[in-house]
Structure 1
Amino acid sequence: MARRDSRGVPWVLWIPAGAALALVVLPVVGLLVRTDYTRLPELLTSPASLNALRLSLVTAVLSTLACVVLGVPLAVVLARSAGRGVRLLRAVVLLPLVLPPVVGGLALLFLLGRNGFLGYVLDVATGVRIPFTTAAVVVAQTFVAMPFLVVSLEGALRAGGDAYEQVAATLGARPWTVFRRVTLPLLLPALGSGAVLSFARALGEFGATITFAGSLEGVTRTLPLEVYNQAEADVDSAVALALLLVVVAVLVIAVARPRAFDAGGGAR
């Protein structure tokens, strides 16, 4: 019988757990060691870095708003509907989670590009061209980030059940009233966490953005793209910007972490 420690965890599990922890932590340690702290303020406040940071924050906020506006109704539909069609719809919605971002960027380009069937219509009818614009960054970020919000909300809806909604319906409340007065308030905690995760995913998006929006300074070059650009020209700058992204990611994790796992050692 395997010996167990005071917390009830078999000691043998600490070996692969330590290896897994090292795999996550050591690369970050390497980044910290490589950082030129004497030049850090200068590198982070250069015009290119500030432009990339500003663009990243603006587009991430806009894409998060788009995720909320589009993702909340979609999550409710998936959670409160049944049938084979819903399963297929769920699989399609989760597709960006498993697709390489570059593939997603190509798909968006072939949809909304000048030669794409929807992009051609937009160009001819309105003169609007989305690819390689700031709007393209928002579209690409929304494409890859929205599934995180949908998964969070759908899981919360299914875990909570629909008892309160059924009671409201039996009392004569219309579907829209039930959604606005019952479903939405119940979703607020999960909505907060899902929105933060979507924001983080949008902020770190690279592949779909560079494929669909390109890398134009001040227009489409977000912080991850600036890191990639600086990696070939100024390694110290790339490392400083990468460290900034790590700090933002840690802050996001701290905000989005479920409160149930704070103090007390786990969910009760």
Structure 2
Amino acid sequence: MLLFTCQTRLIMYIERDSRKTMPRKDQQGGSEYLSKCLDLLIYHIVQELPGILGDILSALTNVSGRKHPSTIQAKQLKMCLPMMPVVLHLVTSQVDSFSPKICYTNSYSKFPKIEFLSIMIKRSEIEVFRPQIVTKEFLFNYGILLEFIRSIDSGETILDRAIGQAASEELIKTTLLTFEAVTEHPSLLMTHRLTVEDSIVPPLVSLVHSQNVEWRLFSLRLLSETTSVLLSHKVMGEEKGESLNSNNKLLSLIRDLLLPQYEHVLLAPDPVPMYALRLLVALTEHSPASVR
């Protein structure tokens, strides 16, 4: 049901309608009722997501390292993996808000009907789901998922016989798209920078060496954008020591696991070198010695 909700764009309408307004006194009761209904619906959807992601991780854990999943394992994969787009929908969900007007359909209506103006009065992004979903726990679990993706990409785990090649590739693509949505909001990366560096950056570095050109490019772009944000962030006072240690860890990880094979990345077909150079520039600007 939740997947269908996302596919029919109901999530977008929930976010749009959740914009709070200040109704007139004679309309306040109905407006509060609608607002509470929306809040309950949003709360329910947010509470469902950890279970969905947990089921996906459980299904992948059961087949980790296997090339021939059993019939029961294949059935579990077919039930759980198609729910991954729900995660993507909720993380990427954003709408342009409209200024609503409240009117009654007739004089006997108990609750007001919300009608949105056809002309957009004010453009501002309403983030209803993303701030509640992208937490430390979510990013930690996402890092585990990314490790499974690395295992699938490297051939250590083979899902093709269980769910088909197309579904396997769709899982990888949807997983990478989910983190791409997170990178579009630098504040989320900085809020959870330690979790990002510990759980997400290592498998991303591994995926840069993928034999699949699409995944290699996608991973390099995500790594480049993430590293640029984390290294360029300015910190103040007591945060400096923690930030310095964090940056040193990030630099060491990239220097030890990625730079030794960077020549192959730079010589890859376009546009791979462009993102490789962007990452190199970020590293050089922050610490020239790290790339010597």
**TM-score (norm: length of structure 1):** 0.31
Structure scoring higher RCO (CA < 8 A, sep ≥ 6) equals: 1
Greater strand content: 2
